[in-house]
Amino acid sequence: MTVLTRDDLRTLSRKHNGLCVSIYMPTHRAGREVQQDPIRLKNLLGNALDRMVTGGVRAPEARELLKPAEMLLHNGLFWQHQSDGLALFVSPEMFHHYRLPFDFEELVIVTDRFHIKPLLPLLSGDGRFYVLALSQNEVRLLQGTRYSVSEVDLEDVPESLAEALRYNDPEKRLQFHTGTRTPGSKGERPAIFHGQGVASADDPKDYILRYFHQVDEGLHGLLLRGEEVPLVLAGVDYLLPLYKEANSYPHLVDEGIEGNPEAMSAEELHEHAWAIVHPLFLSARKEAAALYRQLAGAGSEQASSDRKEIIPAAYHGRVDTLFVAVGLQQWGAFDPETNAVHLHERAEPGDEDLLDFAAIHTLSNGGSVHAVEPEKVPDDAPLAAVFRY
């Protein structure tokens, strides 16, 4: 699957030359529905073509713009390796697609900016988490949401303790095996080492720490840099504290999943991890909502549900916490020179979704975004914000 990062968000959210086509659709991992997914995309591309032509783009130019996305229709291997949702972004400058663990509703948006808001539950603090399943024989990283989980392809991360040490000490011969489990034990026992260059066969801690440092460095370079979502460890009890010693990711959760992860499916790991992170998500959201109500109830200028106040504040980096309604659009335009916000009932030429705009700039400026159902936004508004100042 493709990992979506905040750097991707910044790339997508900046102004691009020409029209920007954003397409979201649900996909399927297996079963008969997989065969329907290319047909679904074909229909959505037809919808995008019609919108561009209606907007004044010549049909040949519109077809040329959509050609990279159309090529996916005939890529059988691509459709055999899907997650729960597919997001595509097409402009004259770029074409990106993301297979993500989120069941998107079908949506086509054609404006002069990419439409990002459906991604926010995956990028905001309460929509996504990772599970790092560790054993001496393998490393797996899973990306989860409330409803789904997908395994992340790992590069530059050692697949096992043996690989990590062999790569690190190419001139040394090192062999190890995991001790057999005794009845009633939770998983593998500490490794026993044999071979040249091993200082002590009775203390594998240094070798496991070296292995875990390589895992941590690989993850940090691959996808965890700049992330703010929880990371849950899964492993036998003696490995978890060792990885915590090597870990440099600041959002590692204290509680882990104990047991041998090699014996657990992705779905089992997801279920255990969700039980750990769900209370954390709820607590953070409740605290943010309580702070908003406290400030708004006291008449403080530090909280507002006024779109014309929030949108400029988000652009200028003043928003600390934003609640935004998913599934809604507020079309309009913002002039950063005058801070004027123009709201329209229907999309007009040059408009963009200002809810999307506010969320993107809040995230880009280091704020927190809670992308929630409309009824969960404080004050029954599409936006509510707590300002930094």
Tens digit of each residue's pLDDT (9 = 90 or more) over 309-351 = 999 999 999 999 999 998 888 999 999 999 999 999 988 887 8
Model confidence at 120, pLDDT cuts 50, 70, 90, reads: confident
- CA 128, 213, 180: angle at the middle one, nearest 5? 95
What are the structural domains of the chain? Answer: 6-123 (3.30.960.10), 129-278 (3.30.420), 301-387 (3.30.1330.30)
Tens digit of each residue's pLDDT (9 = 90 or more) over 280-292 = 988 888 999 999 9
CA distance 332 to 36: 35
Question: Would you state the pLDDT for residue 131?
Answer: 95
CB 116 within 8 A of CB 9: yes
Question: Would you state the pLDDT for residue 124?
Answer: 59
Question: Would you state the pLDDT for residue 203?
Answer: 56
Question: Would you state the pLDDT for residue 226?
Answer: 67
Residue (of 207, 204, 225, 216) closest to 158 by Cα position: 216
Tens digit of each residue's pLDDT (9 = 90 or more) over 172-220 = 434 444 443 433 444 554 444 444 444 344 457 888 888 888 888 888 8
**Does residue 108 register a pLDDT over 90?**
yes
Which pTM was predicted?
A: 0.62
Q: Is 370 helix (H, G, I), strand (E, B) or coil?
A: strand
Q: Please give the mean pLDDT across all residues of the chain.
A: 84
Q: H or E segment at 150? A: strand 149-151
Question: Hey, what are 212's tokens?
Answer: 């875990």
